[in-house]
Structure 1
């Protein structure tokens, strides 16, 4: 029977955690199952890995869920309360692989180990169960194992706190990466809650169950899915928060850390409490909490993050993202810092220019930058090694990582002494130089070259580090040679050449001589004092000495003693490393900063990027801009070069509001690429890197909105058009005069005149109410007449060329407006049947003939912002048979330029005569 299918269809019949915890359940359970039920009752929200021999077993609903998630066979083990008990298991030696998959799917796992020797359990009775207990809670936001973590990604646990005070509740976020010690806080608001959470991208979000079940916030947690984990509300008690944080950091007051709101303290306290709960007795080396201001980073709403594909594509891949295009880092810490900068661009020009200075200085010193990069390649991930050591999960290789990191730091410091540095790089060097020299000396003097994964394997302390260890290792590894040496010594001392030292399981080591040679050992006082008689045989006598007995004891205990000495050395080194945690983390951050700067300098040289001018103005002037991701993709494919395009949304002279470009042109002409590239250039400039352009001048953008592409949200009952309208509403309600707004095809999801009306009103609102810088792409060509009345609105179009009925996309942006969208030509290129294309052309011609009046000419008369009639002569289509006949008679291919010009003048003259008549 396939139990996976069987129990999947009967999942409702499997006993729930609450049912298992009942008195009836416990009273009918076997001793082992009773123990499982009791431990499970204390960990209801986690899968329980219950240790049985060489396997972690799961039972009841845990087994059902784990078997589905891991794709392993679901079996059964006896019955409980009249039902078969579902069971599945994973081998202990492969547990990390299964944990990685479960954690990736959002599960939490309680690891339950035997905490008692089976022999002790038997003393209580033959049916006694070995004591077990949870030794660790493994959750997505609290893992530290190298195998479970992505080297280039942060692993944040986030806490969300809400404090009700006054008319509006206060919200705050705290996020911790226990694998690196990062600890940060920030206030937020309900309107930007999802955006702030997605900016950090936590692996796990804890919040009070009352907040989790608030219907007003339900849409936020629906998006987050398994990431959001409700906890008891008492965990977020703001009254006890300050005391809890102070106790964790061993201080009497938090005044030295800064000033925090009640909501921030509640979030920080909850995060610390959850870390203590999951790590049990261990204590991660967290940095002191750092407060972030919401205004210090560029606000990017969730929809914009998604369609700009900053760190993952819409399909969830890393390939094809902006991060992948920018990443030239060579260390794990550098890769994580680059991603963090990309997700949180700055709004302070001074800090941005500090980063740009570093890149420029390194780009001007390519040899120096190359040497630094080579040295950085040797720098391991010190923060994560430090975290594992602090939590008691570290091994010799983690100490080796600290040692290698210190050596790399010393090399880098020497290199930096010979180069020109920016202020940011000078600070980095100071942090590196603050590393304690004594720590490196201790590690060099103690650690060997070949380090085992686990400390219990021994062999990681080098020869010469400890005299006693060298001695016991010699006994352990060279006992035969030591015994042979002692045998030679005794033989020379007694003059008995046949003297042998032997061993058996009864006597252990002993000296054996023939009975005839034993006189020198038994007949003198010195001999009797030196050699102790053990046994007389028919033809031999056996003796021992105090020295031999002690040696035997040492040999027997040498392996245990060697490991004990090594473990003591490990503890000493770990204590020294943990004591230097703050300077180690500061130096690691300095190395990451240097890695990011060098990588971005390499990128700038490789891709011909330019340093942007970033200031507090409202400028947005880009000359020769390119899409960084598309351009690199074209280079890899050896395709045509990317066509660069400028964009100037700077306020016109005398105006305070930003300019808006109304962009028209055909599908496949490159509109979406152009829209996205300008948004990406703004992000790159404010994260502090060079940009893909000939030049760029960008005044700080406070909020970036990009609505490009179509999607639906059927799970929440939203059609594609509804999602479009919700996102557009968010933009129109939140954009400021410092924002950058990118909109594509607003209103295309509904009836033509409805969509046109919405797009028209949206353009007006952006221009007059938001007064932001913006790009508005549309196929509603009627909107182009708005440029005549909206002073900061300009028309731009994607240029095309027609050749023998085909359309050629030039991917160039120029002033003006498109008169049509070339949709039928694109449809033909897509492979629509020729009959369909032909019929579409016929229908289009008839529709255009049926309604030649431009509705925009009438609509602009009722423009609500101006109420000024348009003064434009409406040219009616002429119907002159003479002109028609003259046109049909012309054959341009057979005409000289002069003949063509004469024909044109003749037609013009005929047309003037027809109008006059």
Structure 2
């Protein structure tokens, strides 16, 4: 069996890499194509960008796939084994744009560059091929270019390692953002593996090929799709893991890094091996691996993440998500940190309080908050610029980003020193102040105000920064002026006013005087030593000097020398930046932390959010709660005010297990909004944000489950009801007494009594087995009687009003139970035909009066199947009416207008009497 995301299973319409590598292929290939075939054979599973001058060319099957994916013309270049060789290409200067399209479509690209000067190749013979080699593998998880990365999103490469040691297999994850240097580890289990992967949301997941094809993990691999990529098992060897990690960081032991399990070491080693495999000799500035504990973050299962639309909607859009509603950051690093906090809320009350303290401090100092926000707008993405410089892919603007970042950091430091700081802000201040002043001073002294994109363009070193560079630039840009100045000096020195410095292709630069005026240049030994005779003409003599010869050489090489000096300066500045990598990353993270705090303070002020109390209790008391996304949408679209509602799932006695609310009420009454808003408030509180409520007291939630909405999974043979049951089973099997469970309409996808029975049993299990805090919305009004025997279960309902047969949804939650669901009224609002609505009312009335044991059996006798059909049938049995008989007897062609009018009045009278 093959899989779509298995690189070894690519469709081979033209020639496979194996076919290309055969001896027969080599014997019939041109030298250049032979080189291509060899390099391609060493890089299976990747499109080969083969550098030819100013283009990256692709051949054979690579060309076919790339032309289709990029929408570019497929051409051909010669023949191979009797077949035309498909070919397409992309310009080198625009390669990033094409790489972005290929990476988004799941391709991996091997970039093959010319690694020697063409002039050197010609020395080996006129038919010699320029040496080429792959210098980099571009994959979704290892990109660093600005054009390929979203400023507000992380780009993680993740490795999954599995270690078998007798009992249950040990699983661990390691994830790296090569563009920022973040490196983290965590152990996991099969039951929570997918949830942990989706929490991190990697761009690429590597795993051993044996794990990839393991039937037990196929559901995870299938869910991830192209993100999961199999790799040779040797990358995940735990025996050599410590040595590989130690070599990468240049240490003899990992004892100083903390304690890691075998599985974590294997995952970390695999991630590093993959980075080395794709980046070749370059090493990104990865931070020391940080270990995360699963207990330190709120567990949110995959279905809940999808239902709550935290960072993307179910259609894949960012608009309409909680992240979009919360994001007030002004830096790329801040936006990424906010998303990370949202995806991984904390379970430690002290760490949460530290984040909330920062928001409180900034709200208490609005001017400081506003000034910080303004200063942060000038902070560029220093970690990504640092990564590109470390990998040799940086340009002058990356150096400029580091400089701008250090300048902005200085402004932030001055502002923070003037304010009253929380502990978190104080630590951030210390980190930012740790940036060495020498770095900023050196970059300021060396870099121009206007910087080119590419270092090869030159012009990025400031005038006055290098005496030699200034001289060379003067020669390059003002050679005529320099020659004129030298000519003036020689004329004054010799007293020959007619002395000229000229140029031709044979002599180069030379001094020319008339034969009669040459005496001062030939009369003495000193003169002859200074002015070296070159040529005698009929009426003139030509000389040179050592100074002029040197100047000629300098002018000829000025442009090349100027660029060489600038490139040397670039390398020196890059090395300086890389040496300070740890200080730069620490300062950048601190600036991101401040950006998040300032953004959340701005959000709280703008939207009227309150500071939640988050502690180790099992409280869940929210007053005036609102849905953060819906509320903002209503404000943008109209003047409608969101109706706030409270929710109290706290223990009845103040201690012990939390409560469960059984929520009834009509469709469109706001049940789903109410359910989701309480889940979102819990997430916001535990990520360290103020919340949309007048007050909130939340005891730490260890696991959050939300089953809201209907979906199917037809690819895996699961109906909507089956998906509902699978997700419900996961909740009932995993929820603890500290969990928060949100369930909507359990049991609706099957027969009425089956569904009611399942919902009944689920409520009892949540109450007696899981003993969690929960909201359970249902249309099974029969469940409300459970509040009489389940002590922690309370009934709540969405309030409505009826007016002239219409239903008005108040969107208010109150105690009690709904007496009906108002489904027919909602159907009428949806536009069902009036006859259908009327018929539905009639059927409902009969159902409510029928024998509960078998109401349908009575309906067969008591009600016709459909009133419209019955009336049509009765009409057919009765035959034509008297009016119809009278109409048939009329002949309009034989009637005068007056007779026709009399007949019409007679018919009308007869119809009235019928």
TM-score normalised to structure 1 length: 0.91
- Aligned length, in residue pairs: 846
Number of the residue aligned with 1:239: 239
Deviations 1:658-698 (A, max 9, x none): 21111111111111100000000000000001000000000
Q: Please give the alpha-carbon distance, in whole angstroms, between the structure 2 residues aligned to 1:12 and 1:417.
A: 64
Q: Secondary structure at the match of 2:474?
A: helix
1:268 aligns with 2:263: no
Deviations 1:363-389 (A, max 9, x none): 111011111111111111111111111
Question: What does 1:288-303 correspond to in 2, within 5 Å?
Answer: 288-303=288-303
Question: What does 1:210-609 correspond to in 2, within 5 Å?
Answer: 210-609=210-609
Number of the residue aligned with 1:138: 138
Does the 8 Å CA contact 1:11/1:64 hold for their aligned counterparts? no
1:23 aligns with 2:35: no
Q: Secondary structure at the match of 2:837?
A: helix
Q: Please give the alpha-carbon distance, in whole angstroms, between the structure 1 residues aligned to 2:70 and 2:559.
A: 40
Q: Secondary structure at the match of 1:195?
A: helix
Does the 8 Å CA contact 2:12/2:61 hold for their aligned counterparts? no
Deviations 1:385-427 (A, max 9, x none): 1111111111111111111111111111111111000011110
1:58 aligns with 2:42: no
Runs of 4+ with deviation above 6 angstroms: none
Residue 188 of structure 1, CA deviation: 0.4
Does the 8 Å CA contact 1:782/1:854 hold for their aligned counterparts? no
Deviations 1:249-301 (A, max 9, x none): 11111110100000000000000011011110101111101000010000000
Q: Secondary structure at the match of 1:696?
A: strand
Residue 54 of structure 1, CA deviation: 2.4
Q: Please give the alpha-carbon distance, in whole angstroms, between the structure 2 residues aligned to 1:727 and 1:430.
A: 46
Number of the residue aligned with 1:827: 827
User: Which runs of 5 or more residues in structure 1 are unaligned?
Assistant: 1-9, 856-917
Q: Please give the alpha-carbon distance, in whole angstroms, between the structure 2 residues aligned to 1:327 and 1:403.
A: 26
Does the 8 Å CA contact 1:828/1:837 hold for their aligned counterparts? yes
Residue 51 of structure 1, CA deviation: 1.6
Q: Please give the alpha-carbon distance, in whole angstroms, between the structure 2 residues aligned to 1:753 and 1:494.
A: 118
Which one is further off, 745-754 or 530-539? 530-539
Q: Secondary structure at the match of 1:129?
A: coil
Residue 809 of structure 1, CA deviation: 0.6
Number of the residue aligned with 2:3: none
Number of the residue aligned with 2:730: 730
Which one is further off, 146-155 or 824-833? 824-833
Residue 654 of structure 1, CA deviation: 7.0
Number of the residue aligned with 1:128: 128
1:83–1:838 CA distance, 2 compared to 1 (3 A): farther
Q: Please give the alpha-carbon distance, in whole angstroms, between the structure 1 residues aligned to 2:385 and 2:471.
A: 31
1:194 aligns with 2:226: no
Deviations 1:34-64 (A, max 9, x none): 2222111111011111122322122222222
Question: What does 1:687-726 correspond to in 2, within 5 Å?
Answer: 687-726=687-726
Q: Please give the alpha-carbon distance, in whole angstroms, between the structure 1 residues aligned to 2:654 and 2:533.
A: 113
Q: Secondary structure at the match of 2:841?
A: helix
Number of the residue aligned with 2:866: none
Number of the residue aligned with 2:891: none
Residue 119 of structure 1, CA deviation: 3.4
Q: Secondary structure at the match of 1:147?
A: helix
Number of the residue aligned with 2:673: 673
Which one is further off, 347-356 or 563-572? 563-572
Q: Secondary structure at the match of 1:797?
A: strand
Which one is further off, 744-753 or 564-573? 564-573
Q: Please give the alpha-carbon distance, in whole angstroms, between the structure 2 residues aligned to 1:60 and 1:523.
A: 76
Does the 8 Å CA contact 2:43/2:110 hold for their aligned counterparts? yes
Q: Please give the alpha-carbon distance, in whole angstroms, between the structure 2 residues aligned to 1:296 and 1:26.
A: 58
Question: What does 1:603-682 correspond to in 2, within 5 Å?
Answer: 603-653=603-653, 656-682=656-682
Does the 8 Å CA contact 1:372/1:412 hold for their aligned counterparts? yes
Residue 852 of structure 1, CA deviation: 5.4
Q: Please give the alpha-carbon distance, in whole angstroms, between the structure 2 residues aligned to 1:854 and 1:404.
A: 78
Does the 8 Å CA contact 2:389/2:395 hold for their aligned counterparts? yes
Number of the residue aligned with 1:910: none
Residue 621 of structure 1, CA deviation: 0.4
Q: Please give the alpha-carbon distance, in whole angstroms, between the structure 2 residues aligned to 1:241 and 1:492.
A: 76
Q: Secondary structure at the match of 2:448?
A: coil
Does the 8 Å CA contact 2:618/2:655 hold for their aligned counterparts? no
Deviations 1:441-499 (A, max 9, x none): 11111111111111121111112211111111111111111111111111112222111
Residue 12 of structure 1, CA deviation: 5.2
Which one is further off, 32-41 or 348-357? 32-41
1:109 aligns with 2:109: yes
Deviations 1:496-520 (A, max 9, x none): 2111111111111111112221222
Number of the residue aligned with 1:782: 782
Q: Please give the alpha-carbon distance, in whole angstroms, between the structure 2 residues aligned to 1:271 and 1:690.
A: 36
Q: Please give the alpha-carbon distance, in whole angstroms, between the structure 2 residues aligned to 1:15 and 1:370.
A: 62
Residue 25 of structure 1, CA deviation: 3.3
Q: Secondary structure at the match of 1:835?
A: helix
Which one is further off, 726-735 or 438-447? 438-447
1:173 aligns with 2:180: no
Number of the residue aligned with 1:206: 206
Residue 27 of structure 1, CA deviation: 3.4
Q: Please give the alpha-carbon distance, in whole angstroms, between the structure 1 residues aligned to 2:210 and 2:569.
A: 49
Q: Secondary structure at the match of 2:329?
A: coil
Does the 8 Å CA contact 1:151/1:332 hold for their aligned counterparts? yes
Q: Secondary structure at the match of 1:818?
A: coil
Q: Secondary structure at the match of 1:191?
A: coil
Q: Secondary structure at the match of 2:325?
A: helix
1:564–1:787 CA distance, 2 compared to 1 (3 A): same
Q: Please give the alpha-carbon distance, in whole angstroms, between the structure 2 residues aligned to 1:172 and 1:444.
A: 45
Q: Please give the alpha-carbon distance, in whole angstroms, between the structure 1 residues aligned to 2:82 and 2:730.
A: 56
1:396–1:678 CA distance, 2 compared to 1 (3 A): same
Does the 8 Å CA contact 2:385/2:402 hold for their aligned counterparts? yes
Q: Please give the alpha-carbon distance, in whole angstroms, between the structure 1 residues aligned to 2:129 and 2:301.
A: 55
Q: Please give the alpha-carbon distance, in whole angstroms, between the structure 2 residues aligned to 1:610 and 1:473.
A: 61
Q: Secondary structure at the match of 1:90?
A: strand
Residue 224 of structure 1, CA deviation: 0.6
Residue 751 of structure 1, CA deviation: 1.2
Q: Secondary structure at the match of 1:161?
A: strand
Number of the residue aligned with 1:759: 759
Residue 853 of structure 1, CA deviation: 7.3
Q: Please give the alpha-carbon distance, in whole angstroms, between the structure 2 residues aligned to 1:685 and 1:123.
A: 70
Question: What does 1:65-76 correspond to in 2, within 5 Å?
Answer: 65-76=65-76
Q: Secondary structure at the match of 1:315?
A: coil
Number of the residue aligned with 1:164: 164
Does the 8 Å CA contact 1:375/1:411 hold for their aligned counterparts? yes
Does the 8 Å CA contact 2:13/2:61 hold for their aligned counterparts? no
Does the 8 Å CA contact 1:170/1:189 hold for their aligned counterparts? yes
Residue 126 of structure 1, CA deviation: 3.8
Residue 431 of structure 1, CA deviation: 0.6
Number of the residue aligned with 1:793: 793
Number of the residue aligned with 1:889: none
